[in-house]
Amino acid sequence: MECPNCDKEVVADSMFCTWCDAFIPNPQCGNKAGIFRRFLATAIDPILSIIIYFAVTVISGVVVGALFGDTAAVLAIFIAVIACMVFFWGFLGKGMTPGKWLLGLQVVEKHSGEYPGLLRMIVRETVGKFVSGLFLGIGYFWAIWDKDAQTWHDKIAGTLVVRRL
C-alpha cells in the first residue's frame, strides 16, 4: 500500500505514513471523525448521565427511603453516582463513551489504530480533558485546525477519534 501524500510504501493496516505522518484512510481502522459528530457525542454524554442519575436517584430513593428513612437521600445520591461511573467505565474499556458509541465513533491509538488501553483512556478523559478545558476550552476546538483532527486531550494521550465504517 502506498501513501497518498508521499507515494512511499507503508505498512498494511497503519493509519499514518511512517515517512510523512499523513493520515491514510483505511476501511479496517476507520476514517477520522468529523468535528460535528464529535461535538454531538460530547453533548450526548452529559444528557445520558443526567437521565441515568435522576432515574437511579428516584428509584433508589424510593427503595432506600422505605428501608432507611432519613439517610435515604444521601444514600440514593451515592448509588446514582456509582451507577453513572459503572455505566461510563464499561464504555471506556472499549475506547468510547456512550455518545461515541451511538454515533459510531471510537478512540484509537494514533498510529496503530488499536484500542489505546484503559490507562491511556483514563488519562485522556481526566487529565487530558482538564487541560483541553483550560484557556477558554480552546483544546476542544483544536481539532478544527489540526491536520489529524486531534484535540489537546487526544495529543496528550496519543489517540485519535475515528468513525468506524
**DSSP state string for 99-122:** HHHHTTEEEEETTT-S---HHHHH
CA distance 98 to 91: 6
Asked whether residue 25 is domain-assigned, the answer is no
- Tell me the pLDDT tens digit for each residue of 113-135: 788 988 899 899 899 999 999 99
Is residue 4 a part of any domain in this protein? no
Cα dihedral value 35, 153, 23, 93, nearest 10: -90
pLDDT value, residue 27: 67
pLDDT band at 165 (very low <50, low <70, confident <90, very high): low
- Residue 85 located in a structural domain: yes
Q: Please report whether residue 23 resides in a domain.
A: no
Residue 46 maps to a domain: yes
| Domain assignment present for 56 | yes
Q: Is residue 118 part of a domain?
A: yes
Q: Is residue 119 part of a domain?
A: yes
The model carries a pTM of 0.77
Domain containing residue 51: 31-163
pLDDT in tens, 58-115: 787 777 777 777 676 777 778 778 887 887 777 888 888 889 999 999 999 887 778 8
Q: Specify the amino acid at residue 141.
A: F
Q: How many domains in the chain? A: 1
